[in-house]
Structure 1
Amino acid sequence: MANSKYEYVKSFEQPDVLLPNTWIVVRIDGRGFHKFSNKYGFEKPNDRRAIDLMNAAAKAVMTELPDIVIAYGISDEYSFVFHKSCTLFDRRSSKLVTTIVSTFTAYYVHLWSQFFPGVPLSPPLPSFDGRAVQYPSVQNLRDYMSWRQVDCHINNLYNTTFWALIQIGGMDAKSAEKELAGSLSADKNEILFSRFKINYNNEPEIYKKGSVIFRDYELVEPGTAGEAIEDDGAKTTEQIKLSKTQEENDKKRRAKARITVQHLDVIKDEFWERRPWLLSNRPGKIPKEP
């Protein structure tokens, strides 16, 4: 870039590099999606088309950014997780957040017609905001994922009961809110079953558990995963060279892996133990074609 007398303005830029050796979660949320969903007549309590569109956009983001190890989505939000060793964009918060938000939004708009055929978009168009949060330990990361999945269950149980009272029970919104004020999960389950013969346990997993996206490798038996990867600071020059070669090989294996959208329990240990590549950042074994 040519020097000029105006170049001094670069000094006003402030560094926003995230701490090293921490898990990075970029969480995006829809802006004004309550009005947006009403405008396009989203089905209540859940619109499968809208959820599938969110999942498709998130899957596209993961395809374009192989540094993302796992993503989790509910309603109009998605969380994208970068491994603690990630160096993408030199770990600059603004670059990571804006890249994910813009890429997700672009695909959401691009894929809209596939999930809502015959329903053209018009202003105000869908948009999302985002933030980056750092977590220093695996337990912190897992607790974050558990928090989002628990929220998914709590919100979906409430919404399922609320809309059953309105759509089947004939209540208005204020009466339904009053009916559910202070109610516990057991109370909502009882309302659904006793009044409307709805067994919440039989509701689709996609609504109860949300959507988790990751690269699909062969599952392993708990306790058989490989040893943890050493930090580069403890390695010799020769070991680092081998690590660089390994990184290239890992990159190729990630590119070959199928990205899958599933609706699983991410709170229990089994999910993580059977998929050690999520925490190690080392690709697993590509499943054989059936």
Structure 2
Amino acid sequence: MKEYEIYSDLKTPVGSNIIVRLDGRTFHKLAKDLNLEKPYDLNFSKLMADICEDLFKEFSPLFIYTFSDEISLVLDEVPFNCRVEKINSVLASFTSASFHLHLNSYFDSINRPISFDSRIIPVNDNDLPKYFKWRQDEAWRNCVNGYGIWALKKKYSPKTANEKIHGLKNHEIHEMLFKEGINLNDVDVWKKRGIAIYKKQGKIYKDLNIPIFSDTFFKDNSII
């Protein structure tokens, strides 16, 4: 029956770095179960950073980046003989287990399993900063929209708030928030740009004040 395992020999490109991106499954429901503070919950972000540290210790990536319920890590030494099924299944299950391991440090227990999905993105050194800038741009969009919907829900029902924010451009949400006394320029850096985990002076470093990603950042920190 071994011949039925038709995907078991699928491998990542030989000699290529890969990015593994992990995403929480149905975390919108989890946010309600944990009663997360809106628009950002510092304890949840600390929990995600702890998971990233576990991933760093276990798989020795070059770099990890996280925002919201998403984690991206760069592997230059690809484990499991580059087998796609193995990489995806082990990293997703490891991340889910790490989440449960650290959950009680920040929140009350919940009576349901938590899971992450995993995907693999082969990438060369030239495109690596572009990938992380793309994800960081998404973190910024999340920040703008998160603060926008949070401010609207103070005045309107969830349904009306969602209707009002739909189709608004970034600068329009900025203006709306500014009128409410919220200047996104003053928001904590980790909320706007995410959190990076990498080696600094030989130790694992959780960076909550990362700059806007560029080639220079990745070269200066010996990631490329």
- Does structure 1 residue 97 correspond to structure 2 residue 83? no
Q: Are the counterparts in 2 of residues 58 and 78 from structure 1 also a CA contact under 8 Å? A: yes
Structure 1 residue aligned with 2:191: 207
Change over 3 Å in CA distance of 1:204–1:161 after alignment to 2:
same
1:87 Cα deviation from its structure 2 partner: 4.1
Q: Are the counterparts in 2 of residues 145 and 266 from structure 1 also a CA contact under 8 Å? A: no
Q: Are the counterparts in 2 of residues 211 and 262 from structure 1 also a CA contact under 8 Å? A: yes
Question: Out of 52, 64, 67, which is 2:58 matched to?
Answer: 64
Structure 2 residue aligned with 1:31: 25
1:229-273 superposed Cα distances (whole Å, 9 cap, x missing partner): xxxxxxxxxxxxxxxxxxxxxxxxxxxx21111131352233123
Structure 1 residue aligned with 2:148: 161
Q: Are the counterparts in 2 of residues 23 and 141 from structure 1 also a CA contact under 8 Å? A: no
Unaligned runs of 5+ in 1: 1-8, 218-256, 280-290
Instruction: Tell me how far apart the structure 2 counterparts of residues 23 and 151 of structure 1 sit (CA, whole Å).
Output: 22
1:120-152 superposed Cα distances (whole Å, 9 cap, x missing partner): 2212x21111111212x2232221111100000
Output the TM-score relative to the length of structure 2: 0.92
Unaligned runs of 5+ in 2: none
Higher normalized contact order (CA 8 Å, seq sep 6+, divided by chain length): 2
Q: Please tell me whether Structure 1 or Structure 2 has the larger radius of gyration of its CA atoms.
A: 1
Structure 1 residue aligned with 2:204: 259
Structure 1 residue aligned with 2:169: 184
1:106-128 superposed Cα distances (whole Å, 9 cap, x missing partner): 11101111111xx12212x2111
Question: Out of 111, 122, 138, which is 2:111 matched to?
Answer: 122
1:17-44 superposed Cα distances (whole Å, 9 cap, x missing partner): 1111322111111111111111221111
Instruction: Tell me how far apart the structure 2 counterparts of residues 37 and 184 of structure 1 sit (CA, whole Å).
Output: 25
Output the TM-score relative to the length of structure 1: 0.72
Percent of residue pairs identical: 26
Aligned pair count reads: 221
Structure 2 residue aligned with 1:106: 97
Question: Out of 75, 78, 84, which is 2:71 matched to?
Answer: 78
Structure 1 residue aligned with 2:131: 144
Give the residue type in structure 2 aligned to 1:92. Answer: R
Structure 1 residue aligned with 2:220: 274
Give the residue type in structure 2 aligned to 1:269. Answer: D
- Does structure 1 residue 133 correspond to structure 2 residue 121? yes
Q: Are the counterparts in 2 of residues 152 and 208 from structure 1 also a CA contact under 8 Å? A: yes
Instruction: Tell me how far apart the structure 2 counterparts of residues 132 and 18 of structure 1 sit (CA, whole Å).
Output: 8
Give the residue type in structure 1 aligned to 2:143. Answer: N
Instruction: Tell me how far apart the structure 1 counterparts of residues 217 and 134 of structure 2 sit (CA, whole Å).
Output: 15
SS of 2:57's partner is helix
